[in-house]
Structure 1
Amino acid sequence: MDPRAQDVLLCDLCETDPLQYCCEHYDINLCTDCVSKHLSNYSKKHKIAPYHLHRKFTPKYSKCLKHAEKDCEMYCESCHIPVCTTCISSGKHKGHDLSDILEKLGSKKQRIQKDLEELENKIYPRYTEISSAVQTEKAQVETNYGKLATTADQQGEVWHREVTAIVNKRKADIVETKTKHISILDKQADEITHRMTEINQVILEMKNILDTNDISLTSTYKSRNDEFNKLPPTIKVTLPNLSPPTINTKTLNEIFGSLTSLSVTTVKPLLDEPRVTATIDTGYNRLLSVSCLSEDQVWTRGDNNTMKLLNLQSKLLTSIQTKSGRRPGDIAVTRDGYLVYTDYHGNTINLIKNKQIQTVITLQGWRPLYVCCTAGNDLLVTMVSDDKQSKVVRYSGSTEKHSIQFDDQGRPLYSSGGCKYLSENRNLDICVADYGASAVVVVNLSGKLRFRYTGHPSNTGELFHPVGITTDSQSHILTADYYNNRIHILDQDGQFLRYIHCDLDSPLGLCVDIRDNLFVAEWRTAKVKKIQYL
């Protein structure tokens, strides 16, 4: 039986249906159907109101722990405990913020009611959806692994008795891998079920608090909604396949092929409402770039020749001036934790180790614009020539490995002007935010054009000039939409997923840390916002 169906209060007239309203003038409780009957007596004055707003309230004061004969009629906001008048007059709470216990009770109950509604109407249904998806995937696993077993049987028939042992071995591999697969999903299902049970228990406890008016219980209530709002990650397991090679003179075991290993990937869902978790004041007049050194330390560059390392509390940890005394063109952090910056006017790319600046690349006929560090610790650099051509160049140390400038038809991939922040995706795609072309231009590792993203299709009348760009562990592409004060999130194939707003003001540079927290450099405010969006 649903515990929420217990202790239902009934209408005073019909004594059958649950009450929904009350008439304050006659102190009578009514169901929806009986309201019209009660109001039919026009000779009397009525005042109908929802029952939950006007139900009888008889407070149960808790006794003071130090003065047993006294009721706790006040609440100490500083000590977070109910107190009696004797406690207050003793001076132990001098200078503390005190509030009326009934007012505190009311505000606490409002918070409990809000949390209850969120748990029942938003959080718990989402867990239900995830649980259902896991069960559906388990059914698909059964079907797909059955198909793999059938494939193994068909191969066994071709080779008759000579390959019976191999067939049985392959089927055993399938069963073992399937068991691992099911075990992974069962574990996830158990975790979700456990969390759902916790939520149900919390719901019952909160309803008990709301119904009892017990001040002790109410004052000790602590919300767990933030904890439950952190939904469990989705586990995505890549189904193995059985792909035998063409029959030849190799050994039977090689000919028969083998089952690929189980691949497990954690899929992080996007938050419905991204939230700012920290704000860093950089001290610049205008801010241009941000690059993560760690989860709580970022390098920044602004409108002068100094690059700053700051923590989440806006504390300056290190500052370094450029070798030339000019403003750096862009900054990036290598896999080893060293800072790289470009010097547009000096035609150089520079590396900083132990506060010592080394020029690692000097260009001829080209000027470096923006830089990023790849997973393989190479450098990708966008650059422009003296005659306004643009390209992306990959460097290993100081050696040029690859230049990307034209598509398969010999047409320029990138515009001749404007900002060109860039980033490497997890699938090794190279993503360039081409401000001059009003597009995000994405090519694969070899430089072949994959797609261009020119803004959300529904916003044809809006300006779209992407500036900062970064990618995350889910192969999402995030790009700053400066004029519209938002971030676009795309999948790895260029499909729009959603926006991040978070009251951004002229977002410019972007980076993501190892935990997929987004850092946004705001040009106008010169602040960095740390945003959780997964």
Structure 2
Amino acid sequence: MARSQAQDVIRCQYCEDEPAVFHCVPCGDELCPRCKVFHLKSKVASGHNIVRLSERLHPTNQIKMCEVHSSKAYEACCEDCQVPVCITCIQEVHGKHAIGKIQDLFEKQKTKTENELSKMKTQYKSKIIQRIKDFKNGESEIKTSHKDIRQTMKKQAQDFIDHIRAILKESLDESSKNETEKLIEISQYTAEAERFEQNLDQLIEKFETLTESSHPADLILYRKRNHDIFKRLKFPEKINLTMPSFKIGQLSKSQNEHQFGKFTSGHISSLKSSDGSLQVKDLSGSASVKPSTKKELRRSVKLSVIKTQIRELYHVSCRDERSAYISGDGLGIQLKDKSGTELDNISTDGQPFGLAVMQDGSLIYSDYDNKVIYRVSPNKQTTTLINTEDSPSGLCCTRLGDILVCMCLFNTAKVVKYSSSGRKIQEFETDQNRRRLFFYPTFVCDNINEDICVSDWSMNKNVVVLTKSGNLRFKYDGKVQAGRFKFDPYGLATDSLGHILIANNANNAIHLISQDGDFLSCILTENDGIALPHGISVDTHDNLWLVEYKNACVKVYQHLF
């Protein structure tokens, strides 16, 4: 192609003198009007398609090579297949098909495409613009929403911190107040003892004078006038000290004691003399009355009766002060609140022989037949926590987070302590003298002083209480008065004062004993309408939950104030 150096003019490819005006599409030559005539006379297989030079770049005037036969150009279209074809395509594939012009098929497709193009421009374009706008608005809303939430979280966190500080102050104040009260209380005992000592010293001095340096008649007359001197001389009472405790709570927004912890007051209780007197007299005959304790027993008050469809009830374990897990004859464990509403129902492969709630809120239960302790997490995932060597029955979670399990198999009877992860820590089978502790341990619980309390359902029918190291502290046989009580201990629980509560199935009663094994009272009996009490549990508010074996109901009582 020849071009002028002075002007940007396309010259005729043949004469090179005249400007080119035409373009031959098949040949690709630029032609002036005179050379166009001679060019049309030349023979080419595809023929000539002469267009004006200005139209040569239009797509319809360009040569498109076949995708299948790259050396051949598209020359027609197959109307049956709706595709462009070259000569070779027609010969090899489309020979029997209807063949038409590319331009005709192009015009049809162009009309259809233009309609679709119009729809895309008018409808789709506006819709996608609006959609993008919506998305961007959504992004803005998300950012704003999260910003507001983070501000709310920060405020809530600050409120929670302030709340915790208030709980801490209240708990510290309560501890300080309790310390002051107890120091005043014990100082009164100390003053009485010191007064007794002073009077005793005076009496000793008097007796020494009468026996060593006085006239014999003086001693005789003094003894005559004071023949009851030792009857009036009453030794001061001993006291039983229970140290205050602090129960670590779970983080929960439901109640303060779960958020931070619950302060449990220590107390001072007098050990009564044989005649029941609580008086301390000095030699002059004046009496001093022991100050009352902070918490006193009163008649139990029924709070709720919860009906169930379970034929025979065996076990109950409080989740909190509002609800408890229960189980009985057959499979499954129910979670019910005080109103009787069923909050959850947990399926089990075997019948549960013991229930307990861990510090993280998980439920654990024992499968006696399969020798397994299962754990049901708060999200209801059931896993095997412990594969036991012997058959597990009653169990509990201690205040320190460990697990105590009663084990029985043939002649083996023991209580085993595990960590919360299922690692065996300690076994309790014999006492410090290598004597057998249990015959058939069925229920177990711990006390505020870390004692281990076990209901031994056997020929002896005792409640066995051990120290945390496994030494025997005492056994309680329920014989508080000769011939009055039959004793068949089942469920056990302890309250915040260290009392041990025992379900006496044989006599339809709940025994209350001190942490040292002294009988205090029967807080519930047949006269209160209970029958065949089996499992019992004390919630975080010191309310007693008990299940009755045959009545298919759970009863809730308040026994402390």
TM-score, L = length of structure 1: 0.50
**How far apart in 1 are the matches of 2:293 and 2:361?**
26
| 1:308 partner letter | Q
**How far apart in 1 are the matches of 2:329 and 2:405?**
21
Match of 2:220 in 1: none
**How far apart in 1 are the matches of 2:266 and 2:363?**
35
**How far apart in 2 are the matches of 1:305 and 1:481?**
25
Query: What is the CA deviation profile of residues 390-420 of structure 1, one whole-angstrom value per residue up to 9, with x for unaligned ones?
Result: 00010002110010000122111001x3x61
Q: Offset at 1:433? A: 0.9
Match of 1:398 in 2: 422
Q: Offset at 1:434? A: 0.8
State the SS of the aligned residue for 1:497: strand
Match of 2:15 in 1: none
Query: What is the CA deviation profile of residues 489-520 of structure 1, one whole-angstrom value per residue up to 9, with x for unaligned ones?
Result: 00000000000222111100010011110001
Residue 346 of structure 1 pairs with residue 370 of structure 2:
yes
Equivalent runs, 1:43-54 vs 2, <5 Å: none
**How far apart in 2 are the matches of 1:368 and 1:136?**
48
Say if 1:297 and 1:309, in contact at 8 Å, map to a contact too. Answer: yes
Query: What is the CA deviation profile of residues 202-243 of structure 1, one whole-angstrom value per residue up to 9, with x for unaligned ones?
Result: xxxxxxxxxxxxxxxxxxxxxxxxxxxxxxx998479xxxxx
Say if 1:456 and 1:496, in contact at 8 Å, map to a contact too. Answer: no
**How far apart in 2 are the matches of 1:138 and 1:374?**
31
Say if 1:374 and 1:380, in contact at 8 Å, map to a contact too. Answer: yes
State the SS of the aligned residue for 1:140: helix
**Among 428, 431, 436, the residue aligned to 2:450:** 428
Say if 2:182 and 2:268, in contact at 8 Å, map to a contact too. Answer: no
TM-score, L = length of structure 2: 0.48
Match of 2:498 in 1: 475
State the SS of the aligned residue for 1:314: coil
Match of 1:268 in 2: 295
Say if 1:288 and 1:522, in contact at 8 Å, map to a contact too. Answer: yes
* Identical positions, percent: 35
Residue 356 of structure 1 pairs with residue 356 of structure 2:
no
Q: Offset at 1:142? A: 8.2
Distance 1:371 1:142, change over 3 A: closer
Q: Offset at 1:461? A: 5.8
Match of 1:527 in 2: 553
Equivalent runs, 1:113-512 vs 2, <5 Å: 137=185, 140=188, 143=191, 236=267, 267-271=294-298, 273-322=299-348, 325-353=349-377, 354-364=379-389, 366-385=390-409, 387-396=410-419, 397-415=421-439, 417=440, 420-436=442-458, 437-460=460-483, 462-499=485-522, 500-501=524-525, 502-512=528-538
Q: Which has the larger radius of gyration?
A: 2
**How far apart in 2 are the matches of 1:495 and 1:266?**
17
Distance 1:304 1:411, change over 3 A: same
Structure number with higher relative contact order (C-alpha < 8 Å, ≥ 6 residues apart): 1
**How far apart in 1 are the matches of 2:347 and 2:266?**
46
Say if 2:503 and 2:509, in contact at 8 Å, map to a contact too. Answer: yes
**Structure 1, gaps ≥5 residues long:** 1-132, 148-232, 239-264
State the SS of the aligned residue for 1:279: strand
State the SS of the aligned residue for 2:391: strand
Q: Offset at 1:431? A: 0.2
Say if 2:355 and 2:363, in contact at 8 Å, map to a contact too. Answer: yes
State the SS of the aligned residue for 1:484: coil
| 1:527 partner letter | C
**How far apart in 2 are the matches of 1:329 and 1:456?**
28
Q: Across the two proteins, how many residue pairs are aligned to each other?
A: 284
| 1:294 partner letter | D
Match of 1:79 in 2: none
**How far apart in 2 are the matches of 1:472 and 1:138?**
23
Distance 1:363 1:235, change over 3 A: closer
Say if 1:435 and 1:467, in contact at 8 Å, map to a contact too. Answer: yes
Query: What is the CA deviation profile of residues 141-176 of structure 1, one whole-angstrom value per residue up to 9, with x for unaligned ones?
Result: 7849999xxxxxxxxxxxxxxxxxxxxxxxxxxxxx
Distance 1:368 1:315, change over 3 A: same
Distance 1:316 1:399, change over 3 A: same
State the SS of the aligned residue for 1:342: strand
| 1:270 partner letter | L
Q: Offset at 1:268? A: 1.7
State the SS of the aligned residue for 1:384: strand
Q: Offset at 1:267? A: 3.7
**How far apart in 1 are the matches of 2:382 and 2:322?**
24
Say if 2:479 and 2:486, in contact at 8 Å, map to a contact too. Answer: no
**How far apart in 1 are the matches of 2:328 and 2:338?**
17
